[in-house]
Structure 1
Amino acid sequence: MPSSESSYPAKKLILNLVKEAQQPISAQVMVRMAELFSVEANNVRVTLNRLTRQDFLDLTERGIYVLGPAAKHLAERQSAWRRTEDKVRPWEGQWIAIYAAHLGRRDRKVLRQRQRAMTMLGFSELYQGMLVRPDNLRTSLPDLTNQLFHLGLETEACVFRAEAFNPGAEPVPQTLWPVAEINARYRNNTEEMQNWRSSFEDKPLDVAARECFLIGDRVLRDIAYDPLLPEQIVDQQARSEMVETMADFDDLGKSIWRELISRFIEDQT
């Protein structure tokens, strides 16, 4: 968890606050909430103006904000994490591969986008310019390819299914993914959320709100970047338990934040 002195990204914080408020929320309330994360008032106001211009926020009246159309679409996509285990199917030993050795490497921005796309969908480099992942996702190969392109992989890349490798060339999962670390992360995240739930009622409301936000944010990032490997490689049951625990934790966190937001709104009246 970040220290109290570190500042949380203003854009991410504001969008989450407005989403969880479930009602129009004022700039003054957001400034007070942002103080819990060491985000300065001026940073909040500048970010509010930028998000409004980008259609992430709408002004219902002067200084009162609701989610804009761009943020609503983003929120719908983000909620898909609750259905994480629905994305996978039993693995039969086949692989999905990406050949990208012919793509340029000079443009660092393009290179970062390419790497991010492949990482977010669980690919790891088997040989230079060739990446693989188990073929255990429910999505079809064309749909997976389109997801990669949408996330930043160049359309010149070659995405294909690999059914067999010559002896000695087969992917070895333990060398491609940090399997022990992934399994430990599943268990540690679940344990941290369960331990926090057992003790949060003794904390002041603002402290509880900040802590659950930061814990949940980190776990959601782990879920978003999880390679979704099959049970032959990782502890799939531990992953499922982490996601289920996060769903309950998220519901609790939302109720805490709504209570705190309501208090701040009442203080204004």
Structure 2
Amino acid sequence: MSQFVYYFEPLKPEDVSARALVLSLMSSTGAAEHPIGQLINAAALFGIEAATLRVAVTRLMKDDLLESAERGVYAPGPKSRALTRRVQQWQHVADRMVDWNGDWLVALVQHLGRSNRKQLRARERALALSGYQETDDGLWVRPANLASDLDRHRADLTDIGADDDIILMRASGVAKQGDQNWARLWSPADLSRSYARAVEAIEVSLTRLPGLSVEAAARETLLIGQPVIRAINFDPLLPPELGDQAGFLRMAEKMLEYNKTGQACWRAYYTSLEETAQD
């Protein structure tokens, strides 16, 4: 099993960087644009100074990950729009899966090279976001239980960073010396435990939130919600024949409930700041 399996683990406030926070807010709140004041107020919840936040925004602008249609208002930039859309699809993740007939999707990347480290990272991130694992032979594979056809799936991969020359194929059988049990590239037991931990964390948080201050409630929903969303987005979406699909869908459904609560908590936090400013 490669490093591209992500398990749920709540964030700590000190783990939230200015850069990660901005990108997280851009992809998770549903708002098309974010005023700099709002970003600064969000950063304050995690002990991030306004100057540090502004530096992060400037660097994200230089990297084309943010853009500004008007002074002090920011939105995802040209290099992050497709990835932002992909991350936001976690809310409809069940629609991405179909029944599995035993076939596999195989991504061929050996001809693409590894000398361009930046593109290599983008390629492997795109494949990981689509549930692929790397085999000992350098192939990237996953069960062929995605709803998209091969051409559409390939376009989705290139949109989020994979090379334009990546080759995809659908395999119904493989004959080769050695172990070809690709199902072993994932650990269904570890994934199932991760789903259960995420659901438990959400349920515990939902009972705690009503007793917290608006600041603490907003902070907690991000510290728990973001890693759950990350786990959903990087999940291999294994079919029931290979993993705990029911547990995964239970986590995703629970996160939908938690996301609504989290959005309300953040609105309450921003409203409290506006009311304080008016006093």
TM class by shorter chain equals 0.7 to 0.9
Aligned match of 1:244 = 253
1:174 deviation in Å? 4.4
Q: 1:163 to 1:68 in 2, by over 3 A?
A: closer
Q: Which amino acid aligns with 1:90?
A: D
> Using the alignment, how far apart are the partners of 1:73 and 1:167 within structure 2?
37
Deviates more, 1:177-186 or 1:231-240: 177-186
Which of 70, 78, 87 aligns to 2:96? It is 87
> Using the alignment, how far apart are the partners of 2:142 and 2:182 within structure 1?
9
Q: Which amino acid aligns with 1:44?
A: L
Aligned match of 1:100 = 109
Deviates more, 1:115-124 or 1:226-235: 115-124
> Using the alignment, how far apart are the partners of 1:87 and 1:18 within structure 2?
19
Aligned match of 1:267 = 276
Residue pair 2:112, 2:165 contacting (<8 A) in 1 also: yes
> Using the alignment, how far apart are the partners of 1:123 and 1:94 within structure 2?
14
Q: Which amino acid aligns with 2:203?
A: Q
> Using the alignment, how far apart are the partners of 1:146 and 1:268 within structure 2?
47
Which of 150, 159, 165 aligns to 2:159? It is 150
> Using the alignment, how far apart are the partners of 2:91 and 2:30 within structure 1?
20
Q: Which amino acid aligns with 2:90?
A: W
Asked if 1:116 is matched to 2:135, the reply is no
Q: Secondary structure at the match of 1:227?
A: coil
Residue pair 2:106, 2:170 contacting (<8 A) in 1 also: yes
Residue pair 2:22, 2:57 contacting (<8 A) in 1 also: no
1:206 deviation in Å? 0.7
1:258 deviation in Å? 0.3
After superposition, what is the alpha-carbon deviation per residue over 1:40-90, rounded to whole angstroms, capped at 9, x for unaligned? 11022334556678564443xx75x36578688776544321110110001
1:229 deviation in Å? 1.1
Which of 156, 175, 194 aligns to 1:185? It is 194
Residue pair 1:117, 1:148 contacting (<8 A) in 2 also: yes
Residue pair 2:11, 2:227 contacting (<8 A) in 1 also: no
1:1-269 aligned at under 5 Å gives the runs 1-10=10-19, 12-13=21-22, 16=25, 20=29, 27-48=36-57, 56-59=67-70, 65=73, 67=75, 76-166=85-175, 171-269=180-278
Q: Which amino acid aligns with 2:156?
A: Q
Deviates more, 1:72-81 or 1:205-214: 72-81
Q: State the superposition RMSD in angstroms.
A: 3.1
Q: Which runs of 5+ in 2 are unaligned?
A: 1-9
Give the number of equivalent residue pairs. Answer: 266
Q: Secondary structure at the match of 1:102?
A: helix
Residue pair 1:105, 1:111 contacting (<8 A) in 2 also: yes
> Using the alignment, how far apart are the partners of 2:221 and 2:82 within structure 1?
24
> Using the alignment, how far apart are the partners of 1:185 and 1:15 within structure 2?
21
Q: Secondary structure at the match of 1:160?
A: strand
> Using the alignment, how far apart are the partners of 1:199 and 1:229 within structure 2?
32
1:215 deviation in Å? 0.6
Residue pair 1:120, 1:225 contacting (<8 A) in 2 also: yes
> Using the alignment, how far apart are the partners of 2:74 and 2:48 within structure 1?
20
Q: Larger radius of gyration, structure 1 or 2?
A: 1
Residue pair 2:218, 2:265 contacting (<8 A) in 1 also: yes
1:23 deviation in Å? 10
Q: Pick 1 or 2: higher relative contact order, CA cutoff 8 A, min separation 6.
A: 2
1:5 deviation in Å? 3.6
